[in-house]
Structure 1
Amino acid sequence: MSTVTSARRLLARSFSRAASATPGLDARLLVEGAVGQENPDPDMQLPADALARLRDFATRRLAGEPVWRILGEREFWGLRFRLSPATLEPRPDSETIVEVTLAALAGRREEALSLLDLGTGTGCLLIALLSELPRATGLGIDLSAEARDMAAGNAELNGVGDRAAFRQGSWTEGLAGRFDVIVSNPPYIPSGEIAGLSVEVREHDPLLALDGGADGLGPYRIFARTLPALMAPSGIVVFEIGAGQGPDVVALMQAGGLEFRGSRNDLGGHERALIFALT
């Protein structure tokens, strides 16, 4: 593995034998991460320190650790987000939440909106929205202090730190005021299904961000009881949901006094985002 090309080929073969879904991509990203640059010269000789990093990366990947966890950051909405063991890894499907929210705001995108992100994790939803809403300010809440700190760092990294605040807390406890936009990607996997998840998710995403209780709907029940009192009169709520949860989440929110305004599918064609407003 002395050159970029030979390293990529060897890693891709190893990852393919280990049944990676994207062995070539994994190899390219890890080589780039080891040498510290994108698209390095294919004939570049890898220095000893890069080779050492690459061997460590390869060992971790073959053990099931996701590539982005190994690299310590991932892109979301064209922005960089650093990861920690306390944060869910942002997925492209969650960009659907950002898309739906911006579409729902339509002509309000230049207003001084107030945003709330419940279970903020890396801060990806809130920070992506602030990057598109130049006069908005936002508050992110997470039960994990480590996640809260990571989100604050990501806000600074992406140039919106002066318009974002982050607190440690349990969902809506202790919150007051009225928000124009409330978003959340809460844990929604039923507790009994956690053990059957892939190693990449089960062993590397935090349980706190996965486990939604016995039926996966625990957080939504809290939201149905508490969010109407936190919404501005023309406010909107956008949630991410798991497969097949749409009807149950809609029923919960309607019982709590919210009006269902529609849904949007993710990149795979699955219902992913639900939008609500006050009745």
Structure 2
Amino acid sequence: MKQSAYIMPQVQSIREAFAEASSFLRGLGVSEPQRSAQLLLEHVLELSGAAYYMAMADPFPPDKRGTWETAVTRRGSGEPVQYITGEQEFYGRPFEVTPDVLIPRPETELLVEAVLRYAAELWPQGAGNAGEPIAGVNGEGGSGDTGKPAVGGGYTAEGGGLRLTAIDIGAGSGAISVTLAAEAPAWRVLAGDISPAALAVAGRNAERLGAAVELRLGDLLEPFKGLETDILVSNPPYIPGGDIAGLQREVRDHEPRTALDGGEDGLDPYRRMMEQLPLLPAPPRLVGFELGLGQAEQVAALLKAAGHWNEIVTVPDLAGIPRHVIGIVR
């Protein structure tokens, strides 16, 4: 579909600008046109929450017209709102996002939550509150609960210097690693990515949010060779290469392919991480992977075949789809 530039009609109010842009985006088949128009308006007008709604009857600022038209034109072409505004919230924090990184998804918050909670169980003196059940876990030892874990507690074992080391493979924007470092500030958190541009984004997010994260450039586990690691977490590329052409255009045409393409069946990164485990002095006691639709059984089988983790559980997303596989050494 040929995309023309958006030209704002002579509207009188912010509410009319919202309505006109929503109609324009809907006509182009953009997903969630009203939500897109609202987020772009909030960004362009630098308003949010109650202030945005209170301003709806105000005249549209003439000096914002050009910026507004450009933003709506970009969204009309299929560009995700997050790349236009440069931001996405994750675990209650604002993260910078650029076309060099995958846009953080809400389901990944559940992976972070599961890792924090299992760490609290496995290292009660080194990861905060012990014995908290995992929200919505299917598998041995899991039980229902709600809410995010409280991990900011005693991290040093009595008489010792327990400090957990966690690595995030495929850091992207740093959503996982920065959140872990912010929620568990006494951990040593490292993040790796094959993309220098992605690591730059992750570094800016860590600095902006005051999180201590060590960044390493390289492929999967290779940058962490020889590092004693307690926790390994990863949201790697998991889309089968042949399926990418059929993805939503926002994803297919705008998000980085290297963060999407998981090989022929989408499982290449998981296989390779299992193959690279000997690079570490010992397998991490806690491993958490995000995965795609229908991949939970296969990824769980890879962990089981590795023979290191005596408990393997799956964590569903909010739609009930198995979305994460967790390996644990009890």
TM over 0.5: yes
Q: Of the candidates 183, 207, 212, which is equivalent to residue 132 of structure 1? A: 183
Q: How much does 1:232 deviate?
A: 6.0
One-letter amino acid of the structure 2 residue matched with residue 171 of structure 1: L
Map of 2:111 onto structure 1: 97
Q: Is the 8 A contact 2:231 2:284 kept in 1?
A: no
State how far apart, in whole Å, the 2-side matches of 1:17 and 1:169 are.
43
Q: Secondary structure at the match of 1:216?
A: coil
One-letter amino acid of the structure 2 residue matched with residue 120 of structure 1: A
Q: Of the candidates 149, 159, 164, which is equivalent to residue 200 of structure 2? A: 149
Q: Of the candidates 61, 64, 85, which is equivalent to residue 50 of structure 1? A: 64
Map of 2:316 onto structure 1: 265
Map of 2:35 onto structure 1: 25
Q: Is the 8 A contact 1:97 1:240 kept in 2?
A: yes
Q: Is the 8 A contact 1:142 1:148 kept in 2?
A: yes
Structure 2 matches for 1:247-262, cutoff 5 A?
247-259=297-309, 260-262=311-313
Structure 2 matches for 1:166-245, cutoff 5 A?
166-175=215-224, 176-227=226-277, 230=280, 235-245=285-295
1:8 and 2:55 are equivalent in the alignment: no
Q: Is the 8 A contact 2:87 2:94 kept in 1?
A: yes
Q: Secondary structure at the match of 2:182?
A: helix
State how far apart, in whole Å, the 1-side matches of 2:223 and 2:108 are.
27
One-letter amino acid of the structure 2 residue matched with residue 17 of structure 1: G
Of Structure 1 and Structure 2, the greater helix share is in: 1
Q: Secondary structure at the match of 2:230?
A: strand
1:276 and 2:286 are equivalent in the alignment: no
Per-residue deviation, residues 98-117 of structure 1 (Å, max 9, x unmatched): 11111211232342321100
Of Structure 1 and Structure 2, the greater strand share is in: 1
State how far apart, in whole Å, the 2-side matches of 1:89 and 1:234 are.
27
Q: Is the 8 A contact 2:229 2:284 kept in 1?
A: no
Q: Secondary structure at the match of 1:125?
A: helix
State how far apart, in whole Å, the 2-side matches of 1:49 and 1:253 are.
57
Please tell me whether Structure 1 or Structure 2 has the larger radius of gyration of its CA atoms.
2
Q: Secondary structure at the match of 1:195?
A: helix
Structure 1 spans left out of the alignment, 5+ residues: none
Q: Secondary structure at the match of 2:236?
A: coil
Map of 1:34 onto structure 2: 44
Q: Is the 8 A contact 1:233 1:278 kept in 2?
A: no
Structure 2 spans left out of the alignment, 5+ residues: 1-10, 129-153, 156-162
CA gap 1:2/1:231 in 2 versus in 1, 3 angstroms: farther
Q: Is the 8 A contact 2:283 2:308 kept in 1?
A: no
1:159 and 2:210 are equivalent in the alignment: yes
Per-residue deviation, residues 86-136 of structure 1 (Å, max 9, x unmatched): 100101111111111112112323423211000000000011111211211
- TM value normalised by structure 2: 0.80
Q: CA RMSD in A?
A: 1.8
How many residue pairs get aligned? The number is 277
Percent of aligned positions with the same letter in both sequences? 37
Per-residue deviation, residues 212-235 of structure 1 (Å, max 9, x unmatched): 011111111111122366376772
